[in-house]
């Protein structure tokens, strides 16, 4: 499988090709969507994209970790983490693409 990364520029180009907006308008649209998703997550809201998946922010409590080099116990402070859960549609699409490339 190719280790290619899809960038904002790639998304903007796809919008430009599919929708027919200008390149600047396409870039602004992609930026606007990403900003809205980010802002919602910062506010603690869940973001659900139908047939894709959902993003949520979870609160993790303080716990004790261990430095793997020294074995010394180190406190890990409470923090918020971003979690993504893929939809069944996305999982099935990925797995069917995988089975086609292997078969």
Q: Quick one: CA dihedral 89, 90, 91, 94, positive or negative? A: positive
Kindly report, residue by residue over 81-92, the tens digit of the pLDDT. Answer: 999 999 999 999
Kindly report, residue by residue over 56-89, the tens digit of the pLDDT. Answer: 999 999 999 999 999 999 999 999 999 999 999 9
pTM greater than 0.85 (yes/no): no
Number of H helices, E strands in the chain: 3, 5
Query: 56, 46 in Cβ contact below 8 A?
Result: yes
- The reported pLDDT for the residue numbered 2 is 59
Assess whether pLDDT exceeds 60 at residue 1.
no
Retrieve residue 101's tokens.
């490339």
94-101 average pLDDT score: 81
């Amino acid at each position: 499988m190719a280790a290619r990364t899809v960038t904002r520029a790639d998304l903007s180009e796809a919008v430009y090709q599919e929708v027919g907006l200008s390149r600047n308008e396409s870039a602004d649209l992609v930026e606007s969507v990403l900003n809205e998703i980010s802002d919602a997550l910062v506010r603690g809201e869940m973001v659900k994209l139908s047939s894709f998946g959902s993003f949520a922010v979870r609160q993790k409590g303080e716990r004790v970790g261990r430095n793997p080099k020294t074995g010394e116990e180190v406190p890990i402070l409470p923090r918020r983490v971003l979690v993504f859960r893929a939809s069944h549609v996305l999982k099935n699409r990925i797995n069917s693409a995988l089975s086609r490339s292997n078969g």
